[in-house]
């Protein structure tokens, strides 16, 4: 199984440490492929992938070579500076997506970090749903006033959000397709989970109301 890619925040920490190490190099130094990868703290295949795939990297003059058998030659400080800019932009975009998702999901994600990635978000939602359902089944949420308040909040907030959430999160349709699909999956998961919890609460409330005092 392939290792999951490091988060942008983790890459930034790596590159900041590499920037400190790069200060010890002689001014104007250039590094070949493996020494540059070692300085950053990644494998050469990872750095080579960045050279090939990150928009603007090849044109940034941070490195030379890589084609027609010419060996790579990197300017360490310029390379690190470019990559820091790239991963900082990725981190900031991820934080913006996390904030939008938190606004959509409401209290279920109030404690979510802005740096959470999409896979972690799915796991957090599943855990939150499981805990909510467990509380319902154990009777922790069967007090009538609390259930009634929860149901009002669920049906009012989530039904309205379900109609508008995706459009509000991506009003111009600019999100990448993978992010858009994840956003739709998250919203669907939230709505279904909240509906199940609300129905369980309602059954519990009706059952307790039917019992003689």
**Is residue 144 assigned to a domain?**
yes
Q: Which domain holds residue 32?
A: 8-89
**Is residue 99 assigned to a domain?**
no
Please give the model's pTM, rounded to 2 decimal places.
Answer: 0.56
**Is residue 197 assigned to a domain?**
yes
- Over residues 115-154, the pLDDT tens digits come to 555 566 666 666 566 656 665 555 555 555 565 666 666 5
Query: How confident is the model at residue 6, as a pLDDT?
Result: 83
- Over residues 151-200, the pLDDT tens digits come to 666 555 555 555 566 666 666 666 677 776 777 777 777 667 766 766 66
Q: Does residue 82 sit in the same domain as residue 123? A: no
Number of domains in the chain: 2
Q: Does residue 126 sit in the same domain as residue 66? A: no
Q: Does residue 121 sit in the same domain as residue 85? A: no
Largest CA distance in the chain: 86
**Is residue 98 assigned to a domain?**
no
Average pLDDT estimate for 20-40: 95
**Is residue 94 assigned to a domain?**
no
């Amino acid at each position: 199984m392939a290792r999951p890619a490091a988060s942008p925040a983790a890459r930034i920490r790596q590159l900041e440490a590499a920037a400190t190490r790069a200060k010890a190099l002689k001014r104007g130094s250039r590094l070949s492929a493996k020494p540059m990868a070692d300085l950053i703290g990644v494998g050469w295949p990872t750095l080579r992938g960045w050279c090939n795939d990150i928009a603007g990297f090849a044109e940034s003059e941070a490195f030379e070579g890589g084609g027609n058998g010419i060996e790579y030659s990197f300017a360490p400080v310029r390379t690190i500076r470019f990559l820091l800019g790239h991963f900082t932009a990725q981190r900031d975009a991820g934080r913006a997506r996390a904030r939008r998702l938190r606004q959509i999901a409401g209290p279920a994600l109030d404690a979510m970090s802005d740096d959470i990635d999409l896979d972690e978000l799915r796991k957090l939602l599943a855990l939150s749903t499981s805990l909510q359902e467990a509380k319902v089944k154990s009777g922790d949420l069967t007090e009538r006033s609390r259930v009634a308040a929860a149901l009002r909040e669920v049906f009012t907030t989530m039904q309205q959000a379900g109609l508008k959430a995706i459009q509000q999160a991506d009003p111009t349709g600019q999100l990448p397709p993978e992010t858009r699909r994840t956003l739709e999956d998250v919203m669907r998961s939230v709505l279904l989970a909240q509906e199940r919890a609300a129905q369980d609460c309602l059954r519990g409330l009706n059952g307790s109301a039917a019992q003689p005092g």
